[in-house]
Amino acid sequence: MLRSIAKLSKLRKLAIDVPNINDTKCILDICKICANLISLKISSQQDLDVYTCLRYLRMLKDFRYQQAYLPLQAILKSLVSHEAYNLERVVLKCDRTDMFSYDIFEEFLISNPQLKLLYIRISEYSKADLEPISRYLNKFKLKQQIFIITNSDSDCLHLVPVSYMLEMVQFNTSIGVIDIFNSFH
């Protein structure tokens, strides 16, 4: 089924829920052929190396990626490594991640000044573990940017209205008419 999606070269938005597929090559084929994607949402139960595919998506504005383990350092590095990104929203959700340096966050934010939302949820980290990262990121925050580093999706509901939060970070939402960046002040 994924291979048939790859035949749609003019595809602009794609949401993939791949619970039992651990074939990164399938995702790579889609990214190579569907290079005009502006929105890519991937949810997987398996560990996919999706970061290897991102370099083909030069038009990407909205990237949401969820799986149990995320190589956060590698993902951010791949999002830094090429200049054509127009990323406005990056949502990364996982239970656990590898070790990462603060420097990669700095590189990512500097190379993506147009970024409006960076949302990272790492369930197995404590709030105390995430607090220094959040403080560090806020040093680079520009006006109208939202950076949320958390260990629970429900932990952030006090920051913005629920309907905005759903549209900003959920993978399957029917709230498609709200412009979360221009409607929320």
The domain segmentation of the chain, as residue ranges, is 11-169
3-state secondary structure of 145: coil
43, 37 contact by CB (below 8 A): no
59, 38 contact by CB (below 8 A): yes
| pLDDT reported for residue 95 | 92
| pLDDT reported for residue 63 | 92
| pLDDT reported for residue 185 | 41
| pLDDT reported for residue 100 | 81
pLDDT in tens, 40-89: 998 887 777 788 888 888 889 999 999 889 999 989 988 887 666 688 99
What is the spatial distance between Cα 87 and Cα 39, in angstroms, rounded to a whole number? 9
Q: pTM of the predicted model, to two decimals?
A: 0.82
Give the chain's residues under pLDDT 50. 158, 173-181, 183-185
- Fold exhibited by the domain 11-169: 3.80.10
| pLDDT reported for residue 122 | 93
139: burial class by Cβ within 10 Å (0-12, 13-18, 19+)?
Answer: exposed
